[in-house]
């Protein structure tokens, strides 16, 4: 495992969310001083640790930007975003307002805050579209099929401009399908979390279409580790954060059914129009430039995720974030 030399002052936007919670924990373990800016529209339900300076505000608000400038972080891990491909298709303007305009506001604030290095949550699942070759590489043509992916690509474009014009250093993390403890199992995105929640409720996982479509499922703790590694080594470009393997939705559902001790089959639901058939990422650049590779295998990761859902249920919740 590559070691991380985390800087002392790190701002995490969206730090109360799913990936943010795991990233903040790792930063605190590395003895960083952490500020979180999050308006709590979609927190993951885990309390923000008391050592963290929490600013409850929209990332684009004057309050958030002033807090960032005052904090003078050495790095910003920019995770705050409105998730959900389906939601972005229903309301592309609201997606762009939060995910593009919000990101530009954070980058502008970062210039005033002393030019910290930026680790940006992009998306390897949403940016490549119908990939011509698999696994996708960073140099492949990005052809997003949904406003959510277009917003991530726009964010990468702004990062490049802020690098050239304002000297900001950055890494655009093209995560695969991130899964793990504390992901929202009550929404419409996050197949693993939704399936865990359904199994706990005594319902079978839902599988869209024939279930043979593949995704690059990457465990959240591996993603958090990649975020810390990227702080120290900004690439000023994109990097895939995935396993290099495509796992079918059918295989995920079958494994979860077995791990949960359920009998029976998954529940088929109609395929989503325009859904990508296959998506997985070549992680070679992450390995050579960041010293990162996924360490948690899919069976182990699914077991840990299911266990965490069980533990939360046994503790009486919270089962998921407050719905936005
Ligand atoms: N989960 C995945 O599979 C995945 C894959 C690729 C990329 N990403 C990206 O990683 C990042 C984190 O994703 P996640 O799964 O942890 O999502 P999440 O919804 O759990 O966390 C996002 C957090 O950002 C906060 N937030 C949203 N808009 C905000 C705003 N305007 N101001 C302040 N806070 C705001 C929310 O309250 C939430 O706590 C996002 O940028 C997402 O697009 C996620």
DSSP 169-226: -EEEEEE-EEE-TT--SSSSS-HHHHHHHHHHTT-PPEEETTS--EE-EEEHHHHHHH
Q: Which of 22, 79, 122, 181 to mutate to test the pocket of ligand 1 (most atoms within 8 A of CB)?
A: 79
Q: In this structure, what token pair is assigned to residue 61?
A: 């608000």
Q: How far is the CA of 19 from the centre of ligand 1 (A)?
A: 7
Q: Where are the domains of the chain?
A: 9-176+219-241+282-294
Q: How far is the CA of 99 from the centre of ligand 1 (A)?
A: 10
Q: Check residue 278 and give its pLDDT.
A: 93
Q: How far is the CA of 261 from the centre of ligand 1 (A)?
A: 31
Q: How far is the CA of 80 from the centre of ligand 1 (A)?
A: 5
Q: Give the distance between the most distant pair of CA atoms in the chain.
A: 58
Q: Check residue 323 and give its pLDDT.
A: 36
Q: Check residue 318 and give its pLDDT.
A: 53
Give the up-direction half-sphere exposure of residue 242: CA atoms within 13 A in the CB hemisphere: 30
Q: 3-class DSSP state for residue 120?
A: strand
Parallel, antiparallel or unpaired: strands 117-123 and 75-78: parallel
Count the residues in the chain.
324
CA distance 57 to 67: 10
Question: Residue 48 phi/psi, 5° resolution?
Answer: -70, 130
Q: Which of 22, 45, 58, 81 to mutate to test the pocket of ligand 1 (most atoms within 8 A of CB)?
A: 81
The answer to whether 243 touches 294, Cβ cutoff 8 Å, is yes
Residue 29: burial class (beta carbons within 10 Å; 0-12, 13-18, 19+): exposed
Q: In this structure, what token pair is assigned to residue 264?
A: 């029976």
* Closest residue CA from atom 3 of ligand 1: 178
Run of H or E including 221: helix 220-232
Q: Check residue 4 and give its pLDDT.
A: 53
Run of H or E including 76: strand 75-78
CA distance 254 to 265: 8
Per residue in 287-310, pLDDT (tens digit) is 999 999 999 999 999 999 999 999
Q: Check residue 317 and give its pLDDT.
A: 66
**Which of 148, 158, 175, 179 is the catalytic position?**
148
Residues with CB under 6 A from ligand 1: 14, 16-20, 37-44, 58-59, 79-83, 98, 102, 121, 123, 125, 175, 177-178
Q: Check residue 88 and give its pLDDT.
A: 93
The answer to whether 158 touches 111, Cβ cutoff 8 Å, is no
Per residue in 155-181, pLDDT (tens digit) is 999 999 999 999 999 999 999 999 999
DSSP state of 140: S
Architecture label for domain 9-176+219-241+282-294: 3-Layer(aba) Sandwich (3.40)
Per residue in 205-249, pLDDT (tens digit) is 999 999 999 999 999 999 999 999 999 899 999 999 999 999 999
Q: Is 148 a catalytic residue?
A: yes
Question: Residue 2 phi/psi, 5° resolution?
Answer: -70, 140
Which residues in the chain come in under a pLDDT of 70? Answer: 1-6, 317-324
Q: Where are the alpha helices (DSSP H) in 113-200?
A: 124-127, 147-166, 191-200
CA distance 210 to 83: 25
């Amino acid at each position: 495992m590559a070691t991380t030399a985390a800087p002392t002052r790190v701002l995490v936007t969206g730090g109360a969310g799913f990936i943010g919670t795991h990233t903040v924990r790792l930063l605190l373990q590395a003895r960083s001083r952490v500020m979180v800016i999050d308006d709590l529209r979609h927190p993951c339900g885990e309390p923000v640790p008391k050592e963290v300076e929490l600013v409850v505000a929209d990332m684009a608000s004057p309050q958030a930007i002033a807090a960032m400038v005052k904090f003078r972080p050495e790095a910003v891990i920019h995770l705050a975003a409105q998730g959900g491909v389906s939601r972005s298709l229903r309301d592309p303007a609201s997606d762009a307002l939060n995910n593009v305009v919000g990101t530009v506001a954070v980058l502008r604030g970062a210039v005033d805050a002393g030019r910290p290095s930026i680790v940006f949550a992009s998306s390897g699942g949403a940016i490549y579209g119908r990939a011509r070759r698999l696994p996708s590489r960073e140099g492949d043509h990005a052809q997003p099929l949904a406003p959510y992916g277009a917003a991530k690509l726009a964010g990468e474009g702004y990062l490049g401009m802020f690098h050239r014009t304002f000297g900001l250093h950055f890494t655009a993390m093209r995560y695969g399908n991130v899964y793990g403890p504390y992901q929202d199992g009550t929404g419409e995105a996050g197949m693993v979390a939704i399936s865990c929640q359904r199994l706990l409720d005594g319902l079978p996982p839902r599988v869209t279409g024939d279930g043979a479509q593949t995704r690059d499922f990457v465990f959240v703790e591996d993603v958090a580790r990649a975020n810390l590694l990227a702080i120290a080594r900004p690439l000023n470009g994109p990097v895939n954060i995935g396993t290099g393997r495509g796992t079918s939705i059918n295989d995920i559902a079958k494994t979860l059914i077995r791990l949960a001790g359920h009998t029976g089959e998954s529940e088929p639901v109609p395929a989503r129009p325009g859904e990508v058939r296959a998506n997985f990422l070549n992680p070679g650049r992450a390995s050579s430039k960041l010293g990162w590779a996924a360490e948690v295998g899919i069976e182990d990761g699914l077991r840990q995720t299911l266990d965490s859902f069980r533990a939360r249920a046994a503790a009486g919740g919270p089962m998921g974030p407050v719905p936005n």
